[in-house]
Amino acid sequence: MANKAGANSVLKILEMKKRGEKIAVVTAYDYPTARMADAAGLDMLLVGDSLATVVQGRPTTLGATLDQMIYHAEAVARAAERALVVVDVPFPYCQLGPDEAVRACARILKETEATAVKIEGGASRAETVRAVVAAGIPVVGHCGLVPQSVKALGGYKVQRDWDQLLEDTTAIQEAGAFAVVLECVEREHAAELSKRLTIPTIGIGAGVGCDGQVLVFHDLFNFSEKDPSETPKHARVYRDLGGLIGEGFREYVADVKAERFPGDAESFGAKK
């Protein structure tokens, strides 16, 4: 599917790095959020497999299925007029090797209007990235902390080894990825990688030296029942929607109980 007129293309994202314009990215999982993010000027929307945790309430991202990713991506991509839509390839398609990965990525692009996929992993995933790119599917890499490997690594492991980070990101770039997410990478390392790589780096918990930043929608707006102070350290709460929604719910319950809702205005047949 061709990009919508005026939509960001892979080329436009690469040009942003060349002219030093920072790339703003947020996760999105549904139509109205994607509309608002697109209209507000986000450059890329990521349909992250974080939907397993923030939308479905699971403990890890491993439970997101390909059908679910496609369902959410379809709604997000329909909403996006301008932002480039990227979809996470859920566990375990890329872990199963290039053929399975290409099949899954082809489904994502065929069944949604998304432009690109995101593949977690470094040098060991380069062959898979190369195969997907060769199939004509634009790829964003994802290095540093890789949540899909939580069980293999025995937890969420920050990658502090500079040589490994350089090897991983370089391999992904050489395999044809057009951008790479750096998750929870020390800021000095992320800044140096951003200088050395020709493709844009999109940081999450990786400091201001990256070429762009990505945040999970639910962290950006505290869209949860938690106190904003419990938001991950790398995120900033721009508006406390969780607080506002809780307040609204409590007011609605009180109004129903006290017969303040519905009033005349909300009732059929009421005199004007």
Strand locations in the chain (E): 23-27, 44-47, 84-88, 116-120, 139-144, 179-183, 201-204, 212-215
The residue from 69, 216, 220, 237 that contacts ligand KIV (CB under 6 A) is 216
Residue 159-178 contact track with ligand KIV, rule CB under 6 A, x = bound: --------------------
- Mention every residue, 6+ apart, whose C-beta is less than 8 A from residue 23: 13, 16, 17, 43, 44, 179, 200, 202, 211, 212, 213
| Closest chain position to ligand KIV (CB) | 48
Q: Which stretch binds ligand KIV (CB under 6 A): 45-53, 75-83, 169-177, 227-235?
A: 45-53
Dihedral sign of CA atoms 133, 10, 190, 48 in order: negative
Six-digit token string for 215: 């945040």
Question: What is the pattern of x (binds ligand KIV, CB under 6 A) and - over residues 83-122?
Answer: -----x----------------------------------
Q: Is 100 a catalytic residue?
A: no
Asked if 48 is part of the footprint of ligand KIV (rule: CB under 6 A), the reply reads yes
Catalytic residue among 74, 113, 120, 183: 183
Structure tokens at 187: 């800021």
Asked if 50 interacts with ligand KIV (CB under 6 A), we say yes
Both tokens of 222, joined, read: 């505290």
Which of these, 117, 221, 112, lies nearest to 176 by C-alpha position? 117
**Contact positions toward ligand KIV, by CB under 6 A?**
27, 46, 48-50, 88, 181, 183, 204, 214, 216
Q: Which residues participate in catalysis according to the annotation?
A: 183
